[in-house]
Amino acid sequence: MKTKFLSFLITFLVASSVFAQTNLNAYKYVIVPNKYDFLKEKDQYQLNSLTKFLFEKYGFTALKEGEAYPDDLVKNRCLALKSDALKDSGLFKTRLSVELKDCNDAVVFTTKLGESREKDFYRAYNEALRDAFTDIEALNYKYEPREAVIASTTVAATNTEQEIQQLKQELEALKAKEAEQTAAATVVPVVTTEKVAVVKDEAVVEAEVKEVMNSVLYAQEIENGYQLVDATPKVVYRITKTAQPNLYMVNGENAIIYKKGDTWLIEYNTSEGTKQKELNIKF
């Protein structure tokens, strides 16, 4: 009976390790905070710097919170995990664990409690953190892009561009047809029902183009950000400033708004993946 139980336990631990590795391999970055809650100062005892160093040592691309993020992370914040160090109370030991959360603040991995009996705080925290990171080392992390998410983002952007181009082409075709009929009407001044239908169709297409390309949102400054209102006026989004210029978090939604070139985009997550939409914002 003991042998069967031990075999089951070993199998479970191996399976859990493989599952955790597969999950973490899908994330490209890990963000390290500038300060841990159980300490009074930023990077006290150089613990945050050590965290970043250890993540990089074991294959991760580690970024400090608030620094200039890569373009792909700005566009899709779910490429990164957020790290934290948690202190567990102990009478004669310093004990720390490392926790990783995804972009929705769901915990995806937690290490064991690393321990140290050192009395000096600097040595104790460093030793306990290194001990906790043995679980990170055991993962043998290697980034593997989630192709389905990348593909869905590309398809969404392509579909939007195709829709705009198609509407433009329909409008130009209708204008050309109207010009031909106007020229014909100069010789034979007859107003046909077909002409009226063409004019009506053109108005519909123009309205659709305006809806896609010229729906203006006006930015009104509020505390820590802006509210975006339409011409009604109705509040469409409330956005919060970040450390990055031209990058905002959308309040109450799993989305960001950022500027790409001269274009404002909103990017949000759905069950089908990441999607984008062009916005016309006036600040």
- Does 15 map to a domain? no
Domain total in the chain: 3
Domain boundary among 98, 114, 138: 138
The model carries a pTM of 0.48
Residue 18 C-beta-side C-alpha neighbours within 13 Å: 6
- Does 44 map to a domain? yes
Please tell me the predicted confidence (pLDDT) of residue 163: 63
One domain for residues 226 and 183: no
Domain boundary among 179, 209, 239: 209
Regions of the chain with pLDDT less than 50: 1-22, 148-153, 155-156, 189, 191-199, 212-213
One domain for residues 152 and 132: no
H/E stretch holding 49: helix 47-57
265 with 157: CB under 8 angstroms? no
One domain for residues 88 and 25: yes
Domain boundary among 113, 138, 163: 138
Tokens at 48, concatenated: 């945050």
Range of the structural domain that residue 88 is part of: 20-138
One domain for residues 132 and 34: yes
One domain for residues 75 and 124: yes
Please tell me the predicted confidence (pLDDT) of residue 244: 78
75 with 154: CB under 8 angstroms? no
Of the candidates 117, 71, 115, which has an alpha carbon nearest to the alpha carbon of residue 96? 115
One domain for residues 164 and 270: no
One domain for residues 40 and 96: yes
Please tell me the predicted confidence (pLDDT) of residue 209: 54
One domain for residues 56 and 116: yes
